[in-house]
Amino acid sequence: MPSSAQRVTCHSKTNKEPVMTFETVAIIAQGDMGAGTGAQLVRNGLRVVTNLSGRSERSHMLAKQAGLEDVGEDNALIREADIFLSILPPGQAVALGQQMAPHIKSSGKNLIYADCNAIAPATAQEVQAIVEPAGARFVDVGIFGNPPTPEKNGTRYYASGPDAAEFGRLRNQGLNVIECGDEIGRASAIKMCFASVTKTMIAMMAETVVAAKALGVYDEVVHELSGNQTDGFNWAAKRVISTPPKAYRWVAEVEEIGKTFETVGLPGATCTGGAEMFQLIADSPLGEETVENRQRGTTLEDCAAIAADYIGGLKP
Amino acid sequence: MPSSAQRVTCHSKTNKEPVMTFETVAIIAQGDMGAGTGAQLVRNGLRVVTNLSGRSERSHMLAKQAGLEDVGEDNALIREADIFLSILPPGQAVALGQQMAPHIKSSGKNLIYADCNAIAPATAQEVQAIVEPAGARFVDVGIFGNPPTPEKNGTRYYASGPDAAEFGRLRNQGLNVIECGDEIGRASAIKMCFASVTKTMIAMMAETVVAAKALGVYDEVVHELSGNQTDGFNWAAKRVISTPPKAYRWVAEVEEIGKTFETVGLPGATCTGGAEMFQLIADSPLGEETVENRQRGTTLEDCAAIAADYIGGLKP
């Protein structure tokens, strides 16, 4: 077995045999957060493998920039890995668990499966129920902030579950891991409540300005809001402008928030509506924008006007 | 006819006979905004009449403090008045139109009926369709800000419709009237979009902190929000704390916002959920609070804990 300065012997709570810290991380990462997390681990000396077969040109580009190694198939991915990270649009979290389970089983490995997606606690438990019988140890992770960069590493990885401490060893490889309890679902609960503010409240703000445009009262509404709700308006307006390229993947995230709220007896409709709003933005010409190349929707009024035009309600 | 320095002759757009500015304003006002508006008119030399029969002790108290004159019946109210203001919980706007229409008709008066409630443009048009055939001229008004006081008169009264300029004469009696067009529904549209931010977005924030408490992750969520969404969090948290005594009347207001959004093809579910959230707060022990006498729910955490306890989901 290769030796490494970063390698220390430790014990997980559920497995008594010694477990090494990680040399190779497998990651299924389709977007900015997955690529950013992978790049941070590579910068900190880890080998990070992925499987790019069938992926988009953009995913290939992001993986290459991040220094990820393409092993070409899921089976090889699990065989090579000490720990597996799932970082995807939240609607794909369960399907990825189903896809990886047979490979985990055939590998005979007791690797860590960390679901880092923005999903409801109940969805995290659903993934757990798929990958644990295959032999993995499940860790529930919620990611906060923008992807880490060489200049800025403010991203927080909240981790919960009996094996959270083991995921916490990635602190040695540059991830800000915050262990937050033994319960699977706890990290996801924190993520869902936070995302309610950064996603669902912002959907509400987007709906407001699109409605104002469609009703022909945009100037008056923005005058009142910017003058009398200044902090809230400025905070929300900035986030509405950054929404269009991400709206398509926030649909499922907001649905997961609704699922979380309904579990404790709170209204899910707020989130049903929020998801509809992001779907509308994704379906409109605004949805054609990418993070790297914004042409339209770079001001609040332009965002509102394009979406209002799309729903057919544009008034002068 | 009595003379007054404030009295000038003018013409409405729809009626060619001369119309005097107002000496007597009738107001149906059950709460703080109605009483505050009435008091401001009284302070500026107007006689303000109301009908307190069947009203709560609190309404009597507020009317007395405001210097309103109780004429005891709706018929007398219309008979005495040059202009009628409806300032009620929004769910009662249509019913008040139906209640006043016969008295307007029997009076034979062509008075201004100003609906100042937080209602959808379509609801304003519904009230118009009730009171205009009875002989009134309808003005659509949306009120912004807190009630005027002797110290602070920042309240804005947006007015639209063919007779908005006539309502605008109340500028001479201390109201900040902003005329915003000839279309009935335009003032209400501005109000609805503004209130979406000050009410529906705040319902979303309230739901978030109650969920966090119920899920046992309140400290972590508030830590993340206050540290990383500081402006938005501080703005919203302050408003959540001021919500409980008003939640009962925000239910219908948020439903009206949803109705407004649906008219232009936007999701109504956000508002359905927001209304459910305010109903939940109103039904919980928090709903027993009054503006004058807050005992509980004076911190964000206490609000969240009381509501979470009420829904049966309180976790340590």
Confidence band for B297, pLDDT divided at 50, 70 and 90:
confident
Same domain, B170 and B197: no
Nearest to B52 by CA among B194, B65, A257: B65
Q: Is residue B316 part of a domain?
A: no
Same domain, A224 and A155: no
Classified as helix, coil or strand, A82 is coil
Whether A6 has a pLDDT exceeding 60, the answer reads no
Confidence of residue B17 (pLDDT cuts 50, 70, 90): very low
- Judging contacts by C-beta atoms under 8 Å, the chain B residues touching residue A232 are 197, 201, 231-232, 235-236
State whether A269 and A175 are in the same domain: no
Provide the residue type at B177 as one letter.
V
Kindly state whether residues A31 and A173 are assigned to the same domain: yes
Q: What average pLDDT does the segment B271-299 reach?
A: 90
The pLDDT score that the predictor gives to residue A18 is 44
Mean of per-residue pLDDT scores for chain B: 92
- The answer to whether position A256 is within a domain reads yes
Q: In this predicted structure, what is the pLDDT of residue A293?
A: 75
Residue written as token pair 């519904």: B126
- CATH number of the domain encompassing residue B30: 3.40.50.720
The answer to whether the Cβ–Cβ distance between B211 and A260 falls below 8 Å is yes
Radius of gyration of chain A (CA): 21
pLDDT mean over B224-249: 95
Q: Are A131 and A102 in contact (CB under 8 A)?
A: no
Q: What is the pLDDT of residues A267-295, one digit of tens each?
A: 999 999 999 999 999 999 999 887 777 78
Q: Is the pLDDT of residue B10 over 50?
A: no
**Identity of the residue in B180, B205, B271 whose CB atom sits nearest the CB atom of A201:** B205
Put simply, the answer to whether B265 touches A313 (Cβ < 8 Å) is yes
Sign of CA dihedral A275, A276, A278, A279: positive
Residue after which a domain boundary falls, among B156, B184, B212: B184
Give the residue, B226 or A292, on which the prediction is more confident.
Answer: B226
CA atoms A171, A175, A176, A181: torsion sign: negative
Percent of chain B past pLDDT 90, that is, above it, reads 84
Tell me: do A227 and A294 sit in the same domain.
yes
Looking at chain A, the whole-number percentage of residues with pLDDT higher than 90 is 84
Q: Is the pLDDT of residue A3 over 70?
A: no
Distance from CA of B27 to the nearest CA of A (A): 26
The phi and psi torsions of B6 (rounded to 5 degrees) equal: -80, -5
Q: Chain A: residue nearest B231 by CA? A: A231
Q: How far is CA A245 from its chain centroid?
A: 14
Q: Is the pLDDT of residue A23 over 70?
A: yes
Q: What digits encode the pLDDT tens for the residues A106-136?
A: 999 999 999 999 999 999 999 999 999 999 9
Are A273 and B277 a contacting pair at CB < 8 A? Answer: no
If asked whether residues A282 and A250 sit together in one domain, one would say: yes
Neighbours of A238 (CB within 10 A): 13
For B168-185, the pLDDT digits (tens) are: 999 999 999 999 999 999
Query: A68 in a domain, yes or no?
Result: yes
User: Would A67 be classed as within a structural domain?
Assistant: yes
Distance from CA of A235 to the nearest CA of B (A): 6
pLDDT of residue A20: 54
Nearest CA in chain A to B254: A270
In chain A, the number of structural domains is: 2
Whether the pLDDT of residue B14 is over 70: the answer is: no
Cα A26 → chain centroid = 16
Instruction: Report how far residue A208's alpha carbon sits from residue A260's, in angstroms, rounded to the nearest whole number.
Output: 24
The residue with greater pLDDT, B116 or B17, is B116
Residue keyed to tokens 């009230």: B127
Helix axes B247-263, B186-195, angle to 10 degrees: 120
The domain that holds A227 is classified in CATH as 1.10.1040.10
Chain A to chain B Cβ contacts (< 8 Å): 202
Tell me which residue range forms the domain holding B82: 9-184
Where in chain B does DSSP place strands (E)? 9-11, 18-20, 24-29, 47-50, 69-70, 83-87, 112-115, 137-144, 156-160, 176-179
Confidence at residue B153, expressed as pLDDT on a 0 to 100 scale = 95
The reply to whether residue B273 touches residue A276, judged by beta carbons under 8 angstroms, is no
Taking only the tens place, the pLDDT of each residue in B122-145 is: 999 999 999 999 999 999 999 999
- Domain boundary at B157, B184, B211, which? B184
Q: Which helix (H) or strand (E) holds B204?
A: helix B201-214
Other CB atoms within 10 Å distance of the CB of residue A264 = 21
Give the range among A28-32, B65-69, B195-199 with minimum mean pLDDT.
A28-32
Q: Which residue has the tokens 């393409």?
A: A70
Q: Which residue of B has its CA nearest to A228?
A: B145
Q: Classify residue B133: in a domain, yes or no.
A: yes
Inside any domain, residue A270: yes
Please check whether residue B81 lies inside any domain of the structure: yes
ipTM of the shown complex: 0.91
The answer to whether the beta carbons of residues B181 and B168 sit under 8 Å apart is no
Who among B145, B220, B313 is closest to A264 (CB)? B313
Look at residue B20 in the predicted model and tell me its pLDDT. 54
Shared domain check, A96 and A49: yes
Domain final residue pick, B166, B184, B202: B184
The radius of gyration of chain B's CA atoms, rounded to the nearest angstrom, is 21
Tokens of B286: 């928090």
B212 and B168 housed in the same domain: no
As a whole number of angstroms, the distance between CA A194 and CA A233 comes to: 18
Distance CA B250, CA B239 (A): 13
* Whether B177 and B36 share a structural domain: yes
A210 shares a domain with A178:
no
Residue B38 and residue B180 in one domain: yes
Residue B314 lies inside a defined structural domain of this protein: no
Beta bridge partners of B144: B156
Q: Is the pLDDT of residue A17 over 60?
A: no
Say what the pLDDT of residue A316 is. Answer: 60
The helix (run of H) or strand (run of E) holding residue A305 is helix A300-310
pLDDT of residue B4: 39
A270–B274 CB contact, under 8 Å: yes
A194/B266 touch (CB, cutoff 8 Å), yes or no: no
Q: Average model confidence (pLDDT) for chain A?
A: 92
Give pLDDT tens digits for A214-257. 999 999 999 999 999 999 999 999 999 999 999 998 999 999 99
A248 contacts: CB under 8 Å, gap ≥ 6:
A89, A278, A282, A287
Amino acid code (one letter) for A250 = W
Residue B61 has which token pair? Answer: 């108290």
CA-CA-CA-CA torsion sign (A164, A165, A166, A172): positive
- Are A180 and A218 found together in one domain? no
**Residue in the structure block whose two tokens are 């880890």:** A46
Asked if residue A85 lies in contact with residue A66, where contact means CB atoms within 8 angstroms, the answer is no
Tell me the pLDDT tens digit for each residue of A128-183. Answer: 999 999 999 999 999 999 999 999 999 999 999 999 999 999 999 999 999 999 99
Q: How confident is the model at residue A296 (pLDDT cuts 50, 70, 90)?
A: confident
